[in-house]
Amino acid sequence: MVDNIPEHIAIIMDGNGRWAEKRGIPRFAGHKEGVSTVVSIVKTAIKYKVRVLTLYAFSTENWKRPKPEVDFILKLPKEFLNIYLPELKANHVRIGAIGDMEKLPFHTREALQYAIDSTKENDGLQMNFALNYGGRDEILHAVKAMATDLNDGKISIDKVDNKQFSKYLYTTDLPEPDLLIRTGGEKRLSNFLLWQLAYTEFWFTDVLWPDFSEKEFLRALEDYGKRKRRYGGVDELNEAILS
């Protein structure tokens, strides 16, 4: 039994290249296999009534990879959507994106924009892809947008607080993640959702993303269900001891 299902799950889908290298096949084959994991994890998320899923698909640092690998990765959204968009729509999925879309190739943006537009009325799982996303860039982007509004007199400086500021982030209107999962063995944030993860529970696994199964996903959900979240306060037992 899995109870206390997180409302918003963020995932760093790491280990695709290494998965392929271990098999002596090209790295792009690992990315392709990673797409299958996305499909299976989305199905599981729908089954367990997760409200929001945010997947780290392409970071601002990923441009440093060899050009053929980057080109291949940036074709995946269109390929994915050509096959799965009808099924996602049938399941009421709403697609969103976070990151700086302007630097992405036209074919990537076009496929993504179509998916966003044609699912915007859906009320099922909100599925966000972080594309050309970097947490520090996101914060800078928000600061600049807010400074412009301050300058134009649209907001006043004494009304600026955490809530107000967070409206300028790419994640406007999204709840903060309850659970962050990172596959592939690394235990770091790699510039993902820096502001939004302030109170999020972290769960790490050595399993590489192409091998990340429903069973492993449920382990993360079960583990999360057992944790007590305090948001900087104390839990009831501690409160009783301290008083």
Q: For binding to ligand V0D (CB under 6 A), which residues are involved?
A: 13, 16, 31, 34-35, 38, 57-58, 73-74, 76-77, 80-81, 95, 112, 115, 129, 131, 209
* CB nearer ligand V0D, residue 112 or residue 181: 112
Helices (H) then strands (E): counts for the chain: 9, 6
Residue nearest ligand V0D by beta-carbon distance: 34
CB of 80 to ligand V0D, least distance (A): 4
Residue at 59: amino acid letter: S
**Pair type for strands 126-133 and 94-98:** parallel
Cα–Cα dist 61/58, whole Å? 8
* CB nearer ligand V0D, residue 132 or residue 168: 132
Catalytic residue selected from 14, 128, 132, 178: 14
Cα–Cα dist 152/13, whole Å? 40
* CB nearer ligand V0D, residue 58 or residue 224: 58
* CB nearer ligand V0D, residue 45 or residue 112: 112
Q: Is residue 128 among the annotated active site residues?
A: no
**Pair type for strands 8-12 and 201-204:** unpaired
CB of 159 to ligand V0D, least distance (A): 35
* CB nearer ligand V0D, residue 168 or residue 212: 212
Q: Is residue 132 among the annotated active site residues?
A: no
CB of 227 to ligand V0D, least distance (A): 26
State the angle between helix axes of 27-47 and 76-90 in degrees (0 to 180), rounded to the nearest 10.
Answer: 20
CB of 192 to ligand V0D, least distance (A): 13
15 close to 61: Cβ distance less than 8 angstroms: no
116 close to 97: Cβ distance less than 8 angstroms: yes
Cα–Cα dist 47/59, whole Å? 28
Catalytic residue selected from 4, 62, 100, 235: 62
What radius of gyration do the chain's Cα atoms show? Answer: 19
Angle at 81 between CA 29 and CA 118, to 5 degrees: 160
CB of 179 to ligand V0D, least distance (A): 18
The catalytic residues are: 14, 62
